A = this chain, B = another copy of it.
Amino acid sequence: MPDRLNVGAIGLGRMGRVYAANLAQRVPHARLVAVADQKAGLAESFAREFGVARFYESHHDLLGDPDVHAVAVITSTSTHKEMIVDAARAGKAVFCEKPIALALDDAIEILRVVEETGAFLQMGFQRRFDAAYAGARRKVEEGVIGTPVVFTSISRDPCRPPLEFCDPKISGGLIADMGIHDFDVARMYMGEVKTVHAIGGALAYPEMKEVGDIDNAIIDMVFESGSLGVVQLSRNSVFGYDIRGEIWGTKGSIQIGYFRQTPILMMTREGITHDAVPYFFERFESAYLTQIQDFVDRVLNGQKPAITGADAVAAMRISLAATASFREQRPVDIH
């Protein structure tokens, strides 16, 4: 393989900067050669700070740069279709942060273009690259817990987003916005989902009713194998970021969990206390790095994507069915 992959980063918002900085400084086989962001001056200032050779406001210009062999798309979801389609047609390998799209039609159109062009598209679901989730997968595959029969996943954010981002038309709603990570790892461990049923409510932040969203939900799942699953989502994990999973098998169980930010235990008259991981970036910092390294290495080595567009669509179908189940108060099959 060539020494390094020349990558361009599109989108320099909060997560975009993380990806671009990782590509600039911490991914051995990547060379960040260009950045683009439609906000005036943002790409330039990032390029100066990190020593990136070229910067653009338009993603078209970046895609037209012959020195760019691959792109990382970290823009808002509503632009993913345009970015992926343009990049695929320009012959670039593409990494795109989840979710693939807001509407299923858009996602299917993306898959079509990717197939037509033969483009390399790897989707970002960083949880698969977390040491715990990946380690659990290896243990399951080794048969340590026998046949997995129940999957449990808990995802709880420390607070709700600003109300304007809670509008389900923008975010997809709690179940789609947060649950897609859980649905993705559900598929990874357990295979395809046959039926979902969801309940939920605006229980901690009544104001979320105004925008039509909820703050807590429980989704149960029957997999095609007959195995069972349950996902819990919440926006009011006031103590920190609560991400847990369990794969329950016929010969044992794997618990995935990690509450502590620092290995300090305070023991005082008030009790024995420790801190908690504050939020997703602290919890998954190294998973984000590992994920983009994986993309770079797969492109360089001519391997297949670790997480395909079809994977992203499959997780999306579960999200949409669960959202429908919640609204219609009945179990919904996945098609």
Contacts and interface: CB of A to CB of B under 8 A. Distances in A.
Interface of A: 25-26, 28, 131-132, 135-136, 139, 144-145, 147, 149-150, 152, 195, 197, 199-201, 203-204, 216-218, 220-222, 226-230, 232, 234, 236-239, 242, 248, 250-276, 329-331
A131 B274 CA distance: 13
Contacts of A272: 239, 259-260, 273-276
A267 B251 contact: no
B264 A254 contact: yes
Given A203-B149, A272-B239, A264 B26 contact: no
> Of A227, A257, A268, which is in contact with the most chain B CB atoms at under 10 Å from its CB?
A268
A232 B139 contact: no
A242 B216 CA distance: 25
Given A203-B226, A220-B218, A266-B144, A250 B236 contact: yes
A264 B201 contact: no
Contacts of A204: 147, 149, 250
A251 B269 CA distance: 8
Contact of A199 (B220, B248, B252, B261): B220
Contact of A264 (B236, B256, B262, B268): B256
Contact of A239 (B221, B242, B271): B271
A238 B218 contact: no
A296 B204 CA distance: 41
Given A238-B251, A256-B263, A218 B230 contact: yes
A220 B222 CA distance: 13
Contact of A152 (B229, B232, B269): B232
Given A26-B25, A228-B203, A330-B330, A238 B268 contact: yes
Contact of A266 (B200, B222, B254, B264): B254
